[in-house]
Structure 1
Amino acid sequence: MRTSPRLGGRGGKCYPSKGELARRVVQFRRSPAARRARAGLSGPAHGVACIRAGVDLVLALRRRLVRSVQGYLRRRRIHDVARFVRRRRRGSRRGRGRRRRQPRARALAPLPGQRLVRIRRRRARVSRSGCATRERLGCAPAAAKALTRSFAGTPRCGKGALRSRVRLTPRRNAMTLEAAAMPEDDPRARLESLEREIEHLRGENQRLLDVQRGVSSVSDGSTPPSAASMRPIAEALPHLVWIWGLDGPEYYNRRFVEYTGRTIETGRKVSWVEHVHPDDRERAARTFARSQQTGEIYECEARVRGVNGQYRWFLSRAWPMYGPDGRPERWFGALTDIDEHKRNEAALASLYEVAERERKRMERLQAFTAKLSAARTIREVIDAIVTEGRKAFGASRGVFAKLVAEPGFLEIVRMEGWPDEMRALWLGRRLPLLEELPLTDAVRADTPIYFRDRASLEARYPEFARRVLGTEALLVLPIRAGGSQVGALGLLYDAPPHFTDDDDRREMQTFARLSGQAFERGQLFDTAKAEMQRAEEANHAKDLFLGMMSHELRTPLTAILGWATILRGRLPPPETLAKALQVIERNARAQAQLIDDLLDVTKILAGSMRIEVQDVDPLAVMEAALDVVRPAAMAKGVDIVRALDAGVLPLRADPARLQQVVWNLLSNAVKFTPAGGQIFVTLLGDDSHVELAVEDTGKGIPSAFLPYIFEPFRQADVGTTRAHGGLGLGLAIVRHLVDLHGGVIEATSPGEGKGARFVVRLPRRQDSFAVSPGASLYGFGPALGSSLEGHRILVIDDEPDVLEMLASYLSSRGATVLVASSAAEGLWKIKESRPDVVVCDIGMPGQDGYHFIEQLRSALPVEGSTTPVVALTAYARPEDRTRALLHGFDTHVAKPLDPSELAAVIERLSTSKVAARSRAS
């Protein structure tokens, strides 16, 4: 012991030196009491500051660093402590200062066994109740003051001396200050390790903490209280309290026993983990075992089974109670019911998950909508559907198949995420709708197809599953646009997807609906673009046509006017006169032909071209046309080879128009075949059709122009250097005339310089001709004498006036007439009365004529297969007639009509039916 002025000794009193105090501090830190202090169960050896309501403790190492400490606190917004450090200087009026500090002292009143250390600018001193701290240090009061002064004083130590180091260690509801030796040359000696951590107490566990502090001993040799002494407090707590000793359970409070049904006796026989949920047992047991080994506070959330067999969530906490040897000899714990809190957490987590899922779904839909809005053409829309569909639903691969113009087929137009060999195999391939594939089935059924696993996919589509190895799941969404199917999107997954709930299904439906809307917009855009392009081309073709028409009209006029002028001036020699008259006649005929073509095109465009049908010998028509073109062919050196079947039966047609068709084809062949070439003319026929063909070895047709060969005003060569004249109207007129006769015409060519082939197929049935829109058959008289005596006729039309007119006229011709105002009524009357001929309108409410004919042919196989049906309709375009025949009608008659013509058609159909019956019998 020695006097140490540096430690604040006064009057020559002896205090322990600084080194002695440091030695005692180190010795105490190794004692059991220090271990208990570090566990937070009793007051620490070097002074404890109880911090409540956000009040912090500041320890300044050097007097001259007070400002730095204040700045540190200010930066961390610890304003109260900063004001506390600055609030008072040391004064002579101690009593007055003590009275002023009483409110602060009461606010910082320590718990039993704890001591408060206040920090001032120049020194720190132990509070009036700090005797326990001095006793633990084993030094006189003045030495304790000197020690606390050394924490915040200004000692000046030489090299090799020790300086104080302070560390703030959180211990539940307090901060522990520990002093340790540190070399002077440590760069952190001026302001070392100022650490802070504030932990707020949980309100519902305040009483438990108070009990813990109450049972903690304040002296080194004190004995922890027994379980019996804790019962009054434990029974009053709203928790499940237990005490666990070295040999097992020592105490359960009443609430614990009532909930678990577990007593001390049963607790020693059955492990406590048996009451814990199986999913939580391992974690709870492992955490408690670790706490027993380390002496740490035990805290674990687990589900505990009650006497009713149900589990509830509890927060389990336990604190070690130390014996005289400093080792935990029992544990004081409590279970706090947090089941409602957990349920709220689960509900909140579920809501958050739903909200997050909805947010992501909205983001996906927004991104998809943005992509679709940017897409304009069908191709861009399909690309966006496949790309965004893969992203939205997390698919590995995507494919889109579109319905094509050819009925009954899907064409694969987009594949994404596929290997190159699969793309080469499938892209552009057409799939029949009747083929058993996921894409075709989804389109036929108009419903999504979803396979969650590969086993179900292989069970339904084994062949398809073998082609797509590695696919674990499949989703197919049919796409509708404008109320009709347009295609399907297929998504394939290498791993099972995670969407299965109703929200995901609604997202799929929304995705398909948005895709259909975008597809419809794309169709409109493509249609508008095509129409604009077509209009521009038509306008350009019109300009070219006007130029060619001027040329074609002026050329023959030049020859005619020129020779007329020559003949008027003087009479030429006889041979010159004959040549002049021949030139004038030839050019006049050419000009007349041009005018006729122009008039025919005008009639076609106006829909007023008529045909006068009668029995025609096709062989005679072919011979007449050949006689017309043969002189021109011989003059050019072109050989015409004929192969005409003399046994071809007659057909109903307009002989003049049919000859015009053949003449136009032969004239074109002669025009475009060079000298020495050949023209092959064939005529074939059977019971149902007549086929005539004209093939040449001439110039041929470019493949790019072949689709436009029958359009008016279109020519492959429109330049000023073209070798052949004409307006480009002949083939357009030919196609229209063939359409009026109910036939078809097609052109083929291997390429330029390889010739061309034109084939015309005309139906032989006497009733198979059609009338163009607006054409009238009134005044045509082949059927005026037709008799329908003994014929039973059913007329179906939703217009009463039409029904009355037809019934009256057909009855006057001797027929038995039945009438029906709807398709359903007509089917019933066919089944009941079996008429000889049915006349049915196409456009009717509810069920139209197409639905009627389909039901007739399928639902009534006996009556439907033998009963002739006439389509009587105002839908009179050529494509309408073709559609009617494809659906199963025997013939097509357009409105307005001549009743006598309808009578002739009915008579022929009825006669054919009688003949068919006689052949069958």
Structure 2
Amino acid sequence: MTLEAQTGSTERPPGPSALDRVHQILLDTARQLGSSLDPDAIFVRMLESVRGAMRCDGLIVSSFDREQSLIRCVYACVGGNVIDPATLPPLPFRSDSGGMQSQVIRTGKPTLFCDVQERVRDPKGRYYEVDPTGGVRDLRDAGPPLARSAIMAPLRLEGEVVGVVQVSADTQDAYSRLDLELLEGISLLLAVALENARLFRRVQGELDERRRAEQELRETEEALREADRRKDEFLATLGHELRNPLNPIRSAVELLRRRGEPDRDARWAQDVIQRQIVHLTRLIDDLLDVSRITQGKLELRRSDVTLDEVLEAAVESARPMAEAAGQTLMVQVAGSLMRLHADPIRLAQVFANLLDNASKYSPSGTRIEITIERQEDHVAVQIRDEGRGIRPEHLARVFDLFYQAGRSEGRVHDGLGLGLTLVKRLVEMHGGTVQVTSDGLDRGSRFVVRLPLAESRSHGPASPHGPSGARGPWRFLVADDNRDSVESLAMLLQFEGHEVKMAYDGGEALEIAASGWAQVLLLDIGMPRMNGYQLAERVRSEPWGRDLVLIAATGWGQEEDRRRSLESGFDAHLVKPVDPEGLMQLVSGLASRLAATSNGRNH
């Protein structure tokens, strides 16, 4: 250790016993300071070590801010009283000053000062004194200080002076070189202890910040899940509320169609209403399907199906819109060898959306062509139109959710910008790809869907859904709290030759069902008194209800709704607006049970 004394006296080197005492004090101090990570506790233990080793009428620990050239008090104990360090104003560090702390910082050496009273008269220095009560006085214009001698040692970290430790006494020549050496050792230990405490506080702060961030993340995730749940509920409710009024409209239009050949204007009006019902139904379906896919809730129901069957369903769905627009659909036949292991309904939805998109952006008198090409173990289906085309800068975004290229050019077409997003997601779920190309505006567009082919296998003729000609007549119970929906569907069924009874709540429906009259129960889900699920469970629990055909006809169309319907005992789950022809085909498939019901019960 390097020592510097501001005195003219000479001292004999300390003996072995004195050095042993110094070493023991330093060992004890190291244990004491190292056992705490609290700065206040560290200062208290340091004060105890200093008091046990030398006279200590005052102890001040200061930090040195090199950037601001300021010396600030961080701990002070005078006359046995701990003083608030904020009562001592910061001192400027001057390299040319004779100030005691500035000298220790400048030289980096521990120093013994025996001339404190002379030092405080230095005009370049600035000195304050704290009395035992915490009072502060500026020594520049005051009398001599109480302190007569002092020792100071630098606080070092990684070789750099970061502060000063000063111990003072109210008597002259109170300290020796051994005291100075001891204080330097204590200062080294103090610097390490304070740095450990600082690092601990920083780590603790980082951990606290991480915990806060993790808690905020958990709260945000929970809020997002809640928002997502509410969005699902809103979309499901929206779909239900929009589908409900479509059901009586569709039934009424179908009834008008079947009641005789209308004049040309009436036929045109019926066609318009029918097309718009289909269009609105698709918008609702697309909105809910995109929501399901983005959440990973949509599941494919795969089966072996030919590509022709899929395309036939898609063309049948899209043809009315194309014909109304004066466009021609041209479809290449794939043949029985083009087989897919896919969800036929979802793939038909893919191609119907692409055909609708082609029709929407094509003028009257143009052609929309579907061509098919086998590519090893894949098949490529191209849908080409002669429409408005797509600018090159829009090609990369046509599959983005809610994106419509026409909006940037002041053209807005029907739709929500969901159809092509749904196409891409559904194709990818089938292990395929979809690409779009266009030669520019007014040059048409080409969408190519590539799908994996199923392995070749022998296929016998398809078995029909039910016995040939199994069309009834049957006895229907139609139950719904929407009177228009009940009465319009009842009239349509009666026109087809079936017998119908109507109910407007679950309780009334149960009474009619329990009478043994009905063969087919066509039930809404959200009815008063007893909902459709409860009614189905009650019917299935009765001996007379086990062979009845139960069909849910509802605006609720989520996968969870379908699953719950089947668990409650329904044979099928139809989503409004109900397709009358599809309903008849479904009931025909269950004709054997209806025959058993009719033969086994006396009505």
Give the TM-score taking structure 1 as reference length: 0.21
Give the TM-score taking structure 2 as reference length: 0.31
Instruction: Work out which of the two has the higher radius of gyration on C-alpha atoms and give 1 or 2.
Output: 1
Higher RCO structure (Cα 8 Å, ≥6 apart): 2
